[in-house]
């Protein structure tokens, strides 16, 4: 993941976690909100556009029992760059277990994302395209993963507004 992308994703994360009462302080690069998804555009150092959302529900467990854990930002992204295919990524708010994967279940159909540190993404452009198609057609995405400390997490994302937000982000980065 490029430094510019990490910086842009960080800006999106900050903008999403600001309480509604502080709307005036949000990042200026948010250009649209469509139901449960937000669209951002970063012009420099190179143009990138992305759609991003927070989960509607999170469940953390260890040894089959619910646990309270501290997690950072939990965000599902789709990033667009001019002339390139969209790229899906996920940050679970913690370092993933070494060698682990994130299971993505979209309306009961499963996909896999590979992890590195606090980030996960599909293994190829073909996998990205298949998952993107499922997300556009689906209503809910559940991402299940394991932290480096052994906590199992299950994050449920609404896909309401996903297709329109991705079309908007993609059009802004043609």
Which CATH number fits the domain 3-172, given the four candidates 2.60.40.1880, 3.10.180.10, 1.10.10.60, 3.20.20.70? 2.60.40.1880
Q: At what angle are helices 162-172 and 125-137 packed, to 10 degrees?
A: 130
Query: In this predicted model, what pLDDT tens digit does every residue of 9-47 receive, in sequence order?
Result: 544 444 443 332 233 234 569 999 999 999 999 998 899
pTM of the full predicted structure? 0.85
Percent of the chain exceeding pLDDT 90 equals 81
String of DSSP letters for 66-85: E--------EEEEEE-TTS-
Domain boundaries, the chain: 3-172
């Amino acid at each position: 993941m490029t430094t510019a992308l990490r910086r842009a994703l960080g800006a999106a994360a900050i903008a999403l976690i600001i309480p509604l009462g502080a709307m005036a302080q949000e990042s200026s690069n948010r250009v649209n909100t469509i139901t449960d998804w937000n669209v951002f555009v970063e012009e420099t150092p190179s143009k990138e556009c992305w759609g991003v959302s927070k989960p509607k529900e999170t469940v953390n467990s260890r040894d089959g029992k619910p646990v309270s854990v501290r997690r950072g930002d939990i965000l599902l992204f789709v990033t667009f760059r001019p002339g390139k295919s969209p790229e899906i990524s996920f940050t679970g708010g913690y370092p993933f277990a070494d060698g682990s994967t994130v299971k993505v279940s979209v309306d009961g159909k499963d996909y896999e994302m590979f992890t590195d540190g606090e980030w996960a993404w599909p293994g190829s452009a073909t996998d990205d395209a298949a998952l993107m198609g499922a997300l556009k057609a689906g209503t809910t995405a559940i991402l299940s993963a394991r932290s480096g400390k052994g906590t199992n997490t299950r994050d449920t994302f609404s896909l309401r507004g996903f297709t329109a937000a991705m079309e908007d982000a993609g059009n802004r980065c043609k």
